[in-house]
Structure 1
Amino acid sequence: MQSALIPRPEGASFWLRDARGAACLLDAPQGPVDHEGLTRFDLKVEDGRIAGLAPLGTAPPEAPSLEGGQAWPAFVDAHTHLDKGHIWQRAPNPNGDFAGAVSSVMADSTAHWAEAEMEARADFALRSAFAHGTTAIRTHLDSEVPLARMSWPLFARLREAWAGRITLQLCSIAPMECLVGEEGAALADLVARSGGVLGMVTRLGGDFAAPLPADFQPMLDHVFALAEARGLDLDLHVDESGETGARALREIAATALRRRFRGQIQVGHCCVLTLQPEAHQRETLALMAEARMRVVVLPMCNMYLQDRVPGRTPRWRGVTLVQEMRAAGIPVSFASDNTRDGFHAYGDLDMLEVYREATRILHLDHPFGAWPRAVTAEPAAAMGLAAGRLSVGAPADLVLFSARHMTELLSRPQSDRVVLRGGRVSDATLPDWRELDRWLQPGPPSPGDAPAR
């Protein structure tokens, strides 16, 4: 449904009158900034780009008006798993916890993941994200051999097919021990050839007082060496548990500083940091800031998985110290993570939903401040993209809402939003779930759908 309150401008050049936007996303406010961090302005588009941000009353009176509705830059989603997405109906998590997620997804990948069905699920997800107003996505790809031989070429083709609509970045994910030896070098070479990002998972547990495994630091140094030799950035799944002995985050920061690592490091999850001693927290954050690390937080997925015990109400939200990280100068992004698979039964790659739920879960209001950057400008910077801001000269990739105030924006799904791509109204619509039915049957795949491994 399209709202009659949201204009649908036509033509290569036009003004939008009386828009409202987050001041933290503009180069400079064009008027007063209210208590929610919002400012009002007129916006000019020429030849697919933002040509002007001007004070109210600058636009001609006949120009369409947002009547104070909000205008956002297109969203950026810097941590997803498109290879796993939408398998829930075929492979539900039996109890909703992390172990159940690993078991259900591994079994499904062995029995069902084939080129055609993975392409269908990933394309469905990309169409959903595009309709919601996302312009860039980083996806992690399970990269153990032989699966990587099928998934990486497939997603490279999807990246080309979606160029100009969604910028798609590829990142490996595998247990850290898989990056040691010939298999690790081969994976790093594949990532480099594909223009991707090197990623892995740290798996530590136990009690905070327990020493780190003797082989942990040598493996971590080896991962850094693989990236350094190939000029790769790192994007790491870190400390995604409630076990206080999972403290790789500090060691990653210290290793980056010791090695003077020149690439970009993004770390995701970092859940258990909230449960560790405050002195360790402070030391970790200081090292992270010094190492110029970025954090991507997955609030919906981690609330779903962490501290889940059958018949017991969770005592812990499962998310990390985002406010303390921001205060320490560490850039923070929010992202979708998993959608409708064993790690998270819900989600639709709608970054407004991610921002809405992050605000509620993490108390990112009173004031809202600069947190709108966490689904726009910060993930764009993490991906090395000039996106996520309302800037003169930027592509007119915008999401328009009839909602004027933040409590209006975050109280409804905003299903009537209008998405502009290159200044033109997008006619993209959300795909029907029924499209996936043929791929989600519980039986074995047909011979024609066998994995191309």
Structure 2
Amino acid sequence: MKARFAVKTELQDILLKGRVVDISVQNGTIASISPSIRSAQQVILPLPVDPHVHLDKTFTANRCQPAEPGLFGAIEAMATDALNWNEADLRDRIEKALAEAYQNGISAMRSHVDWTQKEAPLAWSVLGEIMQDWRGKIAIQRASLTPLDMLGDVECGTAIASQVHKDSEVMGSFVYRNENLDILLEQVFRNAAHYELMLDFHVDEGLEPEASAFDRIVDLTQQFSMAGRVLCGHACSLSVRPMAEVSRVIAKAADAGVALTVLPTTNLWLQDNQNGKTPRLRGLAPMHELRAAGVPVLLGADNVADPFFSMGTYDALDVLRNASIVAHLAPADWLDSITTNPARAMGREINEIKIGGSADFVLIEGQSWEEALRNPNALRQVFRAGRTQSVGKEAA
């Protein structure tokens, strides 16, 4: 990676929202955007935002192998490994992840942190310290990740909500076919409303049509007037429920102001994963239908090099590439899923490529987005307030 700073930089032949333009960057801001008479040679997008990662779990795959395939085998393996976590181990793995994300142009991330006791876990405080070290590079937001049976308990859930509020972070839960679902979820929303918290749910992460907690979350979002403050992740069961039923709930989600994060790599790996059998089900939430109904759709890397997914990268463009393949997306039409939509869902300022705006964007060689994403090693230039770094074939 090469880094340099130029007071003024002239960038030519850039594909921006269907137009070919030249961009002038001066003193860290976009000074001008003018039409180009030539064909596009590069594509551009604002610095990506990843709304769903697990920095506490990352880079454990080599030491932590699930005994059984699928989600619950990974959960069991991860719980065993977590017994041996210490500050040095967490810090080393998280720093490695952030360095990779920074190189790939990530500007902000929301990391879920497993929280399985009343008190805040070690990973929560370690990540809190690392957040300060990375201030000005990557903006990191923490989201607690607690089983619903615990978070919906009045005493335990209230204690967690109080601590998350004190830390000005996000409260989250894992929800899958829980008994007493309505009572537990309502208590979570009651605490979120009282402490003015944003919510982020891992919900219906499986292929059983009976898994429908997403519906109840939508109803409670409406009931507690929390539009724009509730984000759901996964919702894999929407892929196997009757379409008429799905259409009704996603219309309600749009009205309620609920957003949904799709995690293509992890879900493709975990769902319908059986030893010796080729998967037939993708477990992918209906992205096209959600968007058409007005539900903001986000994309996230989710698990990277851990028992849930032993591969993966902290690279939003790689996530978009994979999503484009499996969900038949036209990538140029879905750039908001890795930029403005996650920024908005996280309550962050929206970064746009406009005159007078900060020069925070990524350039990739290619005459179209298909060409740019075709080659993972295409030259990539990351601009942060006018400072550039090159990633790819010419960066050696």
Q: Give me the whole-angstrom Cα distance separating, in 1, the residues matched to 2:358 and 2:372.
A: 23
Question: What SS does the corresponding residue of 1:174 show, helix, strand or coil?
Answer: strand
Q: What does residue 436 of structure 1 align with?
A: none
State the 1:44 CA deviation.
1.8
Q: Decide which structure has greater strand share.
A: 2
Deviation at 1:94, TM superposition (A): 3.4
Aligned counterpart in structure 2 of residue 56 of structure 1, from 22, 27, 36: 36
| Inter-partner Cα distance in structure 2 for 1:56 and 1:297 | 36
Alpha-carbon distance in 2 for matches of 1:52, 1:352 = 26
Q: Deviations over 1:119-143 (max 9, x none)?
A: 1101100000000111110000001
| Percent pairwise identity | 32
- CA drift of 1:13 comes to 2.4
SS in 2 for 1:201: strand
User: What stretches of structure 1 of length at least 5 have no aligned partner?
Assistant: 3-7, 24-37, 58-64, 206-212, 430-453
Q: Which residue of 2 aligns with 1:61?
A: none
**Deviation of residue 190 (structure 1)?**
1.4
Matched position secondary structure for 1:426? strand
Which residue does the alignment assign to 1:160?
132
Residue of structure 1 aligned with 2:13, choices 9, 13, 18: 18
Residue identity matched to 1:398: F
Q: Does 1:311 align with 2:276?
A: yes
Q: 2:71 aligns with which of 82, 95, 98?
A: 98
- Which of 114, 117, 120 is the matching residue for 2:92? 120
Aligned to 1:405: 368
Q: Distance in 1 between matches of 2:317 and 2:210?
A: 34
SS in 2 for 1:393: coil
So what's the TM-score if we normalise by structure 1?
0.82
Q: Which runs of 5+ in 2 are unaligned?
A: none
**Match of residue 33 from structure 1:** none
Q: Determine the structure 2 residue equivalent to 1:287.
A: 252
Does structure 1 residue 224 correspond to structure 2 residue 200? no
Alignment of 1:226-245 (within 5 A): 226-245=191-210
Distance 1:105 1:388 in 2: 36
Equivalent position to 1:177, from 138, 149, 168: 149
* SS of residue matched to 1:151: helix
Residue-by-residue CA offset, 1:303-336 (whole Å, 9 max, x unaligned):
0000111111111111111100000000101110
Residue matched to 2:310: 345
Contact 1:403–1:409 (8 Å) recurs in 2: yes
The one-letter amino acid of 1:143's match is W
- The answer as to whether partners of 1:199 and 1:237 remain within 8 angstroms in 2 is yes
Query: Structure 1 pair 76/248, CA: closer, same or farther in 2 (3 Å)?
Result: same
Which residue identity does 1:339 align to in structure 2?
V
> Is residue 2:355 matched to residue 1:392?
yes
Q: How far apart are residue 261 of structure 1 and its match?
A: 2.8
Q: Larger Rg: 1 or 2?
A: 1
Question: Does the aligned pair in 2 maintain the 1:66–1:402 contact within 8 Å?
Answer: no
Distance 1:147 1:304 in 2: 32
What does residue 274 of structure 1 align with? 239
**Which residue number corresponds to residue 44 of structure 1?**
24
8 Å contact kept, 2:111–2:141:
yes
Q: Is contact 2:20–2:40 with CA below 8 Å preserved after alignment?
A: no
Name whichever of 135-144 and 378-387 sits farther off. 378-387
Question: Offset of 1:47 from its aligned partner?
Answer: 2.1
Is contact 1:202–1:238 with CA below 8 Å preserved after alignment?
A: yes
Could you give the per-residue CA deviations for residues 346-390 of structure 1, whole angstroms, max 9, x where no partner exists?
A: 11211111000000000002xx45211111111111112224431
Within the candidate set 174, 193, 198, 1:201 is matched to: 174
Moved more, 239-248 or 390-399: 390-399
- Distance in 2 between residues matched to 1:54 and 1:94, nearest whole Å: 57
For residues 116-172 of structure 1, the C-alpha deviation after alignment (integer angstroms, 9 at most, x for no partner) is 110110110000000011111000000122773412221111111111110100101
TM-score by length of 2: 0.94
The one-letter amino acid of 1:47's match is N
Alignment partners' CA distance in 2, 1:393 and 1:220: 44
Q: Distance in 1 between matches of 2:281 and 2:126?
A: 38
Q: Quick check: 1:260 aligned with 2:225?
A: yes
Matched, 1:332 2:312: no
CA shift at 1:93, angstroms?
Answer: 2.3
**Aligned-residue offset at 1:415:** 5.1
For 1:364, what is the secondary structure of its paired residue? Answer: coil
Q: 1:373 aligns with which of 324, 331, 336?
A: 336
Q: In structure 2, do the counterparts of structure 1 residues 324 and 229 end up closer, same or farther at CA, with 3 Å as the change threshold?
A: same
Kept in 2, the 8 Å contact 1:334–1:374? The answer is yes
Post-superposition shift, 1:72? Answer: 2.0
Deviation at 1:407, TM superposition (A): 2.4
Separation of aligned partners in 2, 1:307 and 1:324: 22
In structure 2, do the counterparts of structure 1 residues 393 and 236 end up closer, same or farther at CA, with 3 Å as the change threshold?
farther
Q: How far apart are residue 256 of structure 1 and its match?
A: 1.5
1:179-217 residue CA offsets vs partner (Å, 9 max, x unmatched)? 113221111111111111110011217xxxxxxx4x211
3-state SS of 1:296 partner: strand
Measured in 2, the distance between the counterparts of 1:231 and 1:146 equals 20
Q: 1:309 to 1:234 in 2, by over 3 A?
A: same
What code does the residue aligned with 1:201 have? F
| Alpha-carbon separation, structure 2, partners of 1:94 and 1:419 | 40
Offset at residue 66 of structure 1 (A)? 10
Task: Tell me, yes or no, if the aligned pair for 2:382 and 2:389 is still in contact at 8 Å.
Answer: yes
Are 1:197 and 1:233, in contact at CA under 8 Å, matched by a contact in 2? yes
Contact (CA 8 Å) 1:339, 1:348: kept in 2 or not?
A: yes
The answer for the alignment partner of 2:50 in structure 1 is 77
User: Aligned residues, how many?
Assistant: 391
AA in 2 matched with 1:285: I
Pick closer, same or farther for the CA change 1:263–1:175 going to 2, 3 Å. same
Whether the 8 Å contact between 2:206 and 2:271 is mirrored in structure 1 is yes
- Structure 2 counterpart SS, 1:82: coil
